[in-house]
Each structure stands twice: as C-alpha cells, then as structure tokens.
Amino acid sequence: MGRTLIALRPALRDLRRRPAQSLLLLIIIAATAATLTLGLLVRGAADDPWDRTRAATAGPDAVATAADTAALRDLARAPGVVEAGTPYPVLSTTLRARGATVNAVAHGRATAPDRLDRPYVTDGR
C-alpha cells in the first residue's frame, strides 16, 4: 500500500493543479483506445470476404506451374498433398496497342467445374 500511495500522490496532485491538461490526456487515451479497437474490427471484417470467396471457389492452398505435365502428376502424388486439381493450359503474352503495353494471361478451363480451384460465376453461364 505504501508504494502505491507514493506513486499516486504526485499523480493526484497533478490532477488538481492541471485539470485541463489532465482532461486532454484522458481524451487522447480514449481516442487511442477507440482507434485501436476500430482497427481490429476492420481487420476482422476485411478477412471475411476473402474466406467466403475461397470457400465458394474451393481455392487451393498452393498453386504449381510446370512446362511438363508429368512433373505436375508427380507433385500431385507427393506426400502431404491432400487433393490436386486438373492441370490446365496457361498462355501469357505481352499486348501492345496505341503506345500502351500490358501483360496478359489466359487460363484454359474445362466446361465442367473442377473439384478444386473453380471460378465462381456470379452472372451468366
């Protein structure tokens, strides 16, 4: 009790002598606590859409690319791999038009949905 009283006595004296500064400090501490709380809430809300999209598309934990499909078959049978999707062709190229240059990537997919990493269609077919 003695140590606590020794620490509180100057703090209480400062509260009585400087009420405006004490009130300002209280407001700053409250605003900081509110900002931290809002930051944590926003982070939790920002993760939710990612989780919903990943569940709807059966999103993979890892993606592998290879020029040789035999290497992909070997990787699909590797220890620790629970499930592997069907390999599909990928074409990447550089497009130039009217002075603009962009990199483009096209993924070839089957018409039937794959059991893993399937696109989520929101409108149309």
Q: What is the pLDDT of residues 114-125, one digit of tens each?
A: 777 777 777 776
pTM of structure: 0.43
State the Cα–Cα distance between residues 106 and 90, nearest whole angstrom. Answer: 6
Judge whether 64 lies within some domain. no
Neighbours of 96 (CB within 10 A): 8
Do residues 45 and 90 both lie within one domain?
Answer: no
Structure tokens at 13: 């004296």
Count of domains for the chain: 2
Mean pLDDT over the full length of the chain: 86
Do residues 75 and 36 both lie within one domain?
Answer: no
Beta bridge partners of 101: 96
Do residues 53 and 74 both lie within one domain?
Answer: no
Range of the domain at 7: 2-57
Is residue 90 scored above 90 in pLDDT? no
Closest CA to 120 of 55, 64, 62, 60: 55
Is residue 50 scored above 90 in pLDDT? no
Element (H, E) at 93: strand 90-97
Judge whether 125 lies within some domain. no
